[in-house]
A and B are shown apart, each in its own frame.
Chain A
Amino acid sequence: MSKPVITVEHLSKYYRLGQMKSAQSSLLSLKSLFGGRRGHDPSRDLWALKDVSFEVPAGQVMGVVGRNGAGKSTLLKILSRITDPTEGRAVVHGRVGSLLEVGTGFHPELTGRENVFLNGSILGMSAQEIRRKFDEIVDFSEIGNFIDTPVKRYSSGMFTRLAFAVAANLDPEILIIDEVLSVGDAAFQKKCLVKIRNLMKSGRTVLFVSHNIGSVSELCSSAILLHKGRILTVGTTTEVIEQYARLIAKESATDAADLADYDAAGVRILSVETRKASGAPETVFDISDELILEIDYEVRAVLETLQLAVVVSRNMSELFSSFDTDDLEMPLIRREPGKHRATLHIPAHFLKAGSYSVGVNLGTVTTLLLDIPSAAQFTVEELSENTNYRSYKKERLGSVICPGTWTTTNLS
């Protein structure tokens, strides 16, 4: 094992929340700036990072994953010398370049050319270095003749392309990358990804922070899972991602509606569950998983024309509804008393990543008997696949993965 390039020992960072909210708290902030810790309400404080220790060996590409607020940004801020830690220390051997925020320091009134020089210097390049790489940067950005136009006239795509081009041509020994993969259009993203992969393969030590598990598992050999400021796991990417998935599952298993509260004359819902294809109950699915929705209900008196409906919502807005009678020729079904199980198979590669909730209602043709708005929840994640250049990447437009297929034929 090679010598560590980054050594982090018991690193902690303490934040006082509610700073800058009022004159009073800005006085508190002033006090805290000079080290005093008395005279404030500690319940509003937070250890953004607590006792974090790890090492990154030379040449390794290490992923950092965790939910929002897990401490990822704080860790990067300390490692890129933007703020001091509160406790502990870190030793960084080598020049650090960070792709934390592409386009930082770009000035709208300056031309593309001027901004390349300004931004390059801000990111730590020398003037000669920028001059040497200038053509390469312009080529990569595909800006062409617009290089002498003020960047305020650029489209947002052009802006990000130029900004990324500068950052990607940094030549540091240690590279810190934070969520830069979502810039530009799909084609440019692919180009960025190739560029980043090359940077990573060139023997640089890389710290790669992302929400996107797909790109972490593709690019990183090892990873760290941060949760509420602490390290939960350090290990191989696979281990860490599994742990991360379990964590998400636990957090998203918020209590579903209490089914016992819904009891109508003659009928009640017993359970609403989501299962994997194997039949095992599950609340976290990958986009490549088939999902089985299982609803058990009890009929106590004969019901003519009973119909069960589910309404599946993604990220709080209704995605589709489906009736248990959709597949039948004659949708007016009579249900005898007793327990029934309705099962809906949702095919793999249909639901995009997101958080879902399932509403269930039961009724006859004329009357709605039961309506449970949120009977179950589940999430779909992009665990197995890097979706950076897929149309169904979580952040892109649209709510489902199109089940259609594409072909392109050569017409010439």
Chain B
Amino acid sequence: MTVPVEAEDNPHTVVLYPRTGLSALDLGEVYAYRNLLYLFFWRDIKTRYKQSYLGGVWIVLSPLVSTAIYSVLLGYLARFPSDGVPYPLYVLIGITPWQFFSRSLSGVSTSLADQQVLINKIYFPRILAPMASVLSAAFDFGIMLVMMFVAMLVLGIYPSPRIVLAFLFVLQMALLALGLGLILTGLDAVMRDVRIALNLVLQVWYFLSPVIYPISVVPKHLLTFYYLNPVAPLIQGFRWALLGGTVTPPPLWSILSSGAFTLVLLFVGTLFFQRVERTIVDHL
């Protein structure tokens, strides 16, 4: 079906018709709605801890408790190696980017269903909902990052200029979560099983990534398979960029394959989402 073209005498003219096939993301429209994107993000931050006494403290409490548990269990009792860095810091530097990834992914995956009241009543580019979820996870990440830097400084570990690379790894993690989440959220809107299954998958994924243990414990002959996990080189890279020398950097090929994976997911995810958003209201 061809797209009907109308004489554009009004910049707001809209032609409504049954869209078929694939369509690209209208970035111009997303830009025009940037204020709403910001407000979605702001609303989420503002309301999440309202009427809770500790408020934002909860953002850092959960990674701190995990760090404490792993430090005692793995660092102190099981004597896990940690590339010469104090184990608690080592694990904190793994948990921080992982939490960002997993919160982004689950946030994006449930975003359509979570915003169904609004989606049912008002038009806006639907992609704002998953985008706002990533922003909201990034906000938490920012706070955890501050805590992480404080811990580093206290322990006398100062980051090198390589820290710039750490942010590139984080950015890629955001795009990976967005790409995969864009596929999942359309499915989740129809079958809420998706969010439950995703929780399970994330639990397994967590242990398949170098979050609480150093890469050196992975058997050498499995390392190639291990690095096929697109998150593994990103977390390892993040840790390497911050701690330097003692940590082995991820092999270049794994960064490239993870990058390729991210791009493909982002591309497929966007097309899929654009396809689903047209009539998602009818299925919510």
Q: Please give the residue numbers on chain A whose beta carbons come within 8 Å of chain B beta carbons, in ascending order.
A: 15, 19-20, 23, 26-27, 29-30, 32-35, 77-96, 98, 100-101, 104-105, 107, 109-110, 114, 117-118, 121-123, 126-127, 150, 173
A15 adjacent to B282 (CB under 8 Å): yes
Is B220 located at the chain interface by the 8 A CB criterion? no
A selection of 27 A-B contacts at a CB cut-off of 8 Å is A20-B190, A23-B191, A30-B191, A33-B186, A33-B190, A77-B281, A80-B123, A81-B123, A82-B119, A82-B123, A82-B281, A83-B279, A84-B16, A85-B17, A85-B18, A87-B18, A89-B4, A92-B13, A92-B14, A94-B12, A96-B12, A96-B14, A109-B46, A109-B50, A109-B51, A114-B46, A122-B36
Which listed residue, B20, B35, B191, B278, touches A83 by the CB 8 Å rule? B278
B14 near A109 with CB under 8 A, answer: no
Contact A121 B39 (CB under 8 A): yes
Contact B43 A110 (CB under 8 A): yes
Q: How far is the CA of A105 from the CA of B43 in the complex (A)?
A: 10
Residues of B within 8 A of A91 (CB): 4, 6, 13-16
**Is B118 interfacial (CB 8 A cutoff)?**
yes
Query: Which of A19, A88, A90, A121 meets B283, CB within 8 Å?
Result: A19
Q: Is the CB of B10 within 8 A of A81?
A: no
Decide yes or no: A84 and B14 within 8 Å by CB, A91-B6, A105-B122, A110-B46 being known contacts: no
Given the known interface contacts A91-B6, A109-B47, the answer about A84 and B35 at a Cβ–Cβ threshold of 8 Å is: no
Interface residues of B (CB under 8 A from A): 4, 6, 9-10, 12-20, 35-36, 39, 43, 46-47, 50-51, 117-124, 186-187, 190-191, 193, 275-276, 278-283
Known: A29-B283, A30-B187, A117-B39. Is A104-B121 also a contact (CB below 8 A)?
A: yes
Q: Would B43 and A82 count as touching, CB distance under 8 A? A: no
Interface residue from B121, B123, B190 paired with A26 (Cβ < 8 Å): B190
Q: When A34-B275, A81-B123 are in contact, do A86 and B18 touch as well, CB less than 8 Å?
A: yes
**A residues within 8 A CB of B117?**
104-105
**Could you tell me the distance between the alpha carbons of A100 and B123 in the complex, rounded to whole angstroms?**
11
Selected contact of A105 from candidates B118, B280, B283, CB within 8 Å: B118
Q: Contact: A29 with B190, CB < 8 Å?
A: yes
Contact B36 A121 (CB under 8 A): yes
Q: A91-B13, A91-B16 are in contact. List 10 more A-B contacts (CB 8 A).
A: A34-B275, A81-B123, A83-B279, A83-B281, A89-B4, A90-B17, A121-B35, A121-B36, A123-B122, A126-B35
Q: Which residues of A contact B283 (CB under 8 A)?
A: 19-20, 29-30, 32-33
Are A122's CB and B13's CB within 8 A? no
Smallest CB-CB separation from A15: which chain B residue?
Answer: B282
With A and B bound together, what is the CA distance between A389 and B186 in angstroms? 45
B14 in complex: contacting residue of A81, A114, A118, CB < 8 Å: A81
**Given A26-B191, A114-B46, A123-B122, are A84 and B12 also a contact pair (CB < 8 Å)?**
no
Chain B residues whose C-beta falls within 8 Å of the C-beta of A34 in the assembled complex: 275
Contacts of B193 in A (CB 8 A): 23
Sort A-B residue pairs by CB-CB distance and give the 6 closest, nearest first: A81-B123, A89-B17, A109-B50, A104-B121, A84-B278, A90-B16
Measured CA separation A80–B16 after assembly (Å): 9
A118-B279 Cα distance, complex, nearest whole Å: 25
- In the bound complex, CA of A90 to CA of B18 (Å): 10
Min C-beta distance of B14 to chain A, whole Å = 5
* A84-B279 CB under 8 A given contacts A94-B13, A104-B121: yes
Measured in the bound complex, the distance between the Cα atoms of B51 and A92 in whole Å is 44
Give the CA-CA distance A34 to B191 in the complex, in Å.
14
> Separation in Å of the A160 CB from the closest CB of chain B?
15
Q: Nearest Cβ distance between residue B102 and chain A, in whole angstroms?
A: 25
Q: Smallest Cβ distance from A120 to chain B, in angstroms?
A: 9
**A85-B16 contact, Cβ under 8 Å, with A104-B121, A105-B122, A110-B46:** yes
Cα A173 to Cα B10 with chains together (Å): 11
Chain A contacts of B36 at CB under 8 A? 121-122
Measured between beta carbons, the chain B residues less than 8 angstroms from A90 are 15-17
What is the CB-to-nearest-CB distance from B273 to chain A, in angstroms, rounded to a whole number? 12
Q: How far is the CA of A105 from the CA of B39 in the complex (A)?
A: 11
CA distance A87 to B10 in the complex (A): 24
A104 near B122 with CB under 8 A, answer yes
Residue from the list A27, A82, A107 in contact with B121, Cβ < 8 A: A82
Complex partner residue of A89 from B15, B123, B276, B278, CB under 8 angstroms: B15
Interfacial chain B residues near A94, Cβ < 8 Å: 10, 12-13
A89 vs B16: C-alpha distance in the bound complex, in angstroms? 5
Least CB distance, B33 to chain A, in whole angstroms: 9
Q: Is the CB of A122 within 8 A of B118?
A: yes
Residues of chain A with a CB closer than 8 A to B120's CB: 82
Measured between alpha carbons, how far is A26 from B43 in the docked complex, in Å? 31
- Please tell me if the beta carbons of B118 and A92 are within 8 angstroms of each other in the complex: no
Query: B129: shortest Cβ distance to chain A, in Å?
Result: 12
A364 to B282, CA, bound (A): 60
- Closest chain-B Cβ to A108's Cβ sits at a distance in Å of 9
Q: Which residues of B contact A81 (CB under 8 A)?
A: 14, 16, 123
List the A residue with the shortest CB-CB distance to B124. A122
Point out the residues of chain B lying under 8 angstroms from A26, CB to CB. Answer: 190-191
**Please, which residues of chain A bring their CB within 8 A of the CB of B10?**
93-94, 173
| Nearest chain A residue, comparing its CB with the CB of B284 | A20
A33-B17 in contact given A82-B121, A94-B10, A94-B12 (Cβ < 8 Å)? no
Chain A residues near B281 (CB, 8 Å)? 77, 82-83
A82 lies within 8 A of B35 (CB):
no
> Nearest chain A CB to B98's CB is how many angstroms away?
29
In Å, the complex CA distance between A118 and B124 comes to: 13
Bound CA–CA A27/B13 (angstroms): 36
- Nearest residue (CB) in A for B186 is A33
CB distance from A44 to the nearest CB of B (A): 14
Cβ contacts under 8 Å, A15 to chain B = 282
Complex alpha-carbon distance, A253 and B118, angstroms: 40
Most buried by B among A23, A29, A86: A29
The closest CB in chain B to the CB of A77 belongs to: B281
